[in-house]
Structure 1
Amino acid sequence: MRLILLVLVTLASCSKTSEPSAPPPTASAKDPAAGKRQIESGALVLDVRTLDEYQADSYPGAKHIPVDELGARMAEVGTDKSKPIVVYCASGNRAGKAKRELEAAGYTQVVNGGGLDDLR
């Protein structure tokens, strides 16, 4: 009987007592409001959608580098790694991937502007 009681007390002390917390927001979460502010301040606008999407409609003055080509074309983004950059795609998913890639390359002022419609 004591053995059973000891096992139960031990198991009870190992259980988690706090509620799980919400996961932290991802570093690549879209922020269209911040993107608009950065664009107004002169940020580089980077369209990471496909060529067909870019040719159909794009943000005025945006530089086009598809997300799948970004690593190979990083030099086109520029050497000033502190210059603000706003990346966008159709929904913010590819822009989030591009943001992470740019940050991994040392760019420090990168904003995921979300989708093209978010920035308008």
Structure 2
Amino acid sequence: MRPTQIMRGGGGDGPIGKYNKFIGGWGNFGGLPQRGIVSYGISMNRSNPFAGAAHDAVFNTWRRFSKQVFYWAPPLLASYYIMQWATERNEYLNSKAGRAEFADSEE
């Protein structure tokens, strides 16, 4: 007995094929082979997976850096200058001249 055209098209899970078994319907692995579809590929040992990687890394890094620098650079510079001012002010207030100038105001 010959299977119907619907069963050949993947519509059912009835017995069909070389070993009297149909592997799956639509969306399942191992369906009937498609006809008229041509695909080309290249072997993994023939391809160059790092072609242009250094070039892309440089320009991608610059693009990402230039987009983000205005978010973190101003707070970084401001905190550096505030810390520098605080360190110098602390050193002055703890020096001989600073103690002489502000000695009477801390009592």
Calculate the TM-score normalised by the size of structure 2. Answer: 0.25
Pair member with larger Rg? 2
Calculate the TM-score normalised by the size of structure 1. Answer: 0.23
